[in-house]
């Protein structure tokens, strides 16, 4: 979240709980078999327990991405909804750095809740957005976190969005991560794991470690050829790629009485081959393209 915050919007601009569930059912009717709640932070929505339980009743795999601050209060809700796995966003294992990045003093509670979720039997992935000069020195620390925990670390390249001061020099590439890992552990100690269907990450394990680590290299080594994801934003717009600034306002169409299914299908069939059709990530090109792509803090979904 930017230090100055983001402009507040009328709640009528966002999907109500009933509209979230109706939209979800529409996507499921069209063949979607997995739903992930994300944000922002999905667990701060007032009706989150009810939404989670009702989504869990649909014939889908339900999961969510959370900062885990409130996760200890949702253990029973997760289990009632049939949730088996969660992604936790955490960009540093060092409290002082984490608190500096997030501007909140929740680092210790988040680590405690991660351990609690593991003890309760949930499969946990930790999402780590690497930014050069900020947290790239913790790559080995994160991998060592998997030695005695069955947890997957997912290193994510810093992606450009409006207002996040992205530039090419801040990224930590796939090759850099592998080089750092090989140098520390030795190439003979690193095992490549099979690619998952419709994968976003290339995964590895240190021999003898319980957990694993993966690399989501959206910029330098994209996974677009296997991507089958679609996002419905918190304000009811379909976004067929995070790089795209083209959005179809399903919520307004629904409120006007239109059948939104043709618009969903149209958006999916118009999904570009790779990265919303963007070929170059030179700074000059990026400034123009990504200044029109709204910040992740305003997307939700």
For 63-72, write each residue's pLDDT tens digit: 999 999 999 9
What CATH number has the domain bearing residue 275?
A: 3.20.20.70
Interstrand relation of 202-206 and 190-192 (parallel, antiparallel or unpaired)? antiparallel
Is 1 part of any domain?
Answer: no
Give the separation between CA 117 and CA 121, rounded to whole angstroms. Answer: 7
Is 165 part of any domain?
Answer: yes
pTM: 0.88
**Digit-coded pLDDT (tens) for 218-233:** 766 666 777 888 999 9
Is 102 part of any domain?
Answer: yes
Q: What percent of the chain has pLDDT over 90?
A: 62
**Digit-coded pLDDT (tens) for 6-42:** 777 888 999 999 999 999 999 999 999 999 999 879 9
Is 203 part of any domain?
Answer: yes
Per the listing, tokens 């001061």 go with 165
Burial level of 232, CB count in 10 A (0-12/13-18/19+)?
buried
Give the separation between CA 92 and CA 101, rounded to whole angstroms. Answer: 8
pLDDT at 57 over 90: yes
Is 2 part of any domain?
Answer: no
Give the separation between CA 186 and CA 31, rounded to whole angstroms. Answer: 44
Give the separation between CA 293 and CA 296, rounded to whole angstroms. Answer: 9
Of the pLDDT bands very low, low, confident and very high (cuts 50, 70, 90), residue 246 is confident
Give the separation between CA 243 and CA 21, rounded to whole angstroms. Answer: 26
pLDDT at 177 over 70: yes
Q: What does pLDDT average to over the chain?
A: 87
What pLDDT, on a 0 to 100 scale, did the predictor assign at position 39? 81
Is 6 part of any domain?
Answer: no
Give the separation between CA 50 and CA 74, rounded to whole angstroms. Answer: 11
- Structural domains counted in the chain: 1
Give the structural domain span for 35.
11-298
pLDDT at 164 over 60: no
Which strand (E) or helix (H) includes residue 107? Answer: helix 107-119
Is 136 part of any domain?
Answer: yes
Q: Nearest-CA neighbor of 217 among 271, 163, 176?
A: 176
What pLDDT, on a 0 to 100 scale, did the predictor assign at position 254? 98
Residue 108 and residue 92 in contact, taking contact as beta carbons nearer than 8 Å = no
Of the pLDDT bands very low, low, confident and very high (cuts 50, 70, 90), residue 52 is very high
Of the pLDDT bands very low, low, confident and very high (cuts 50, 70, 90), residue 195 is confident
What pLDDT, on a 0 to 100 scale, did the predictor assign at position 290? 55
Helix (H, G, I), strand (E, B) or coil at 125: strand
Burial level of 299, CB count in 10 A (0-12/13-18/19+)?
buried
**Digit-coded pLDDT (tens) for 92-136:** 999 999 988 888 889 999 999 999 999 999 999 999 999 888 899
Is 3 part of any domain?
Answer: no
Q: What is the mean pLDDT of residues 46-62?
A: 97
């Amino acid at each position: 979240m930017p230090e100055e915050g983001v402009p507040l919007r009328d709640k009528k601009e966002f999907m109500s709980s009933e509209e979230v569930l109706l939209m979800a059912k529409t996507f499921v009717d069209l063949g979607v078999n997995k739903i992930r709640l994300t944000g922002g932070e999905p667990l701060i929505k007032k009706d989150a327990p009810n939404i989670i339980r009702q989504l869990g009743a649909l014939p889908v795999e339900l999961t969510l991405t959370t900062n885990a601050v409130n996760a200890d209060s949702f253990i029973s809700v997760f289990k009632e909804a049939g949730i088996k796995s969660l992604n936790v966003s955490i960009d540093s294992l060092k409290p002082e750095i984490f608190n500096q990045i997030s501007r909140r003093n929740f680092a210790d509670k988040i680590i405690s809740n991660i351990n609690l979720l593991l003890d309760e039997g949930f499969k946990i992935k930790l999402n780590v957005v690497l930014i050069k000069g900020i947290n790239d020195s913790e790559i080995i620390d994160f991998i060592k976190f998997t030695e005695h925990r069955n947890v997957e670390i997912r290193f994510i390249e810093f992606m450009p969005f409006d207002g996040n001061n992205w530039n090419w020099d801040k990224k930590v590439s796939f090759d850099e991560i592998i080089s750092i890992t090989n140098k520390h552990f030795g190439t003979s100690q690193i095992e490549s794991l099979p690619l998952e269907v419709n994968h976003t990450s290339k995964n590895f394990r240190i021999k003898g470690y319980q957990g694993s680590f993966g690399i989501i290299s959206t910029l330098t080594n994209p996974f677009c050829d296997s991507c089958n994801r679609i996002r419905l934003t918190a304000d009811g717009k379909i976004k067929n790629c995070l790089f795209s600034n083209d959005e179809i306002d399903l919520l307004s169409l629904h409120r006007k009485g239109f059948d939104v299914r043709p618009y969903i299908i149209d958006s999916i069939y118009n999904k570009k081959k790779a990265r919303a059709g963007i070929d170059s990530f030179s700074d000059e090109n990026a400034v123009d393209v990504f200044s029109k792509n709204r910040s992740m803090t305003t997307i939700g979904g």
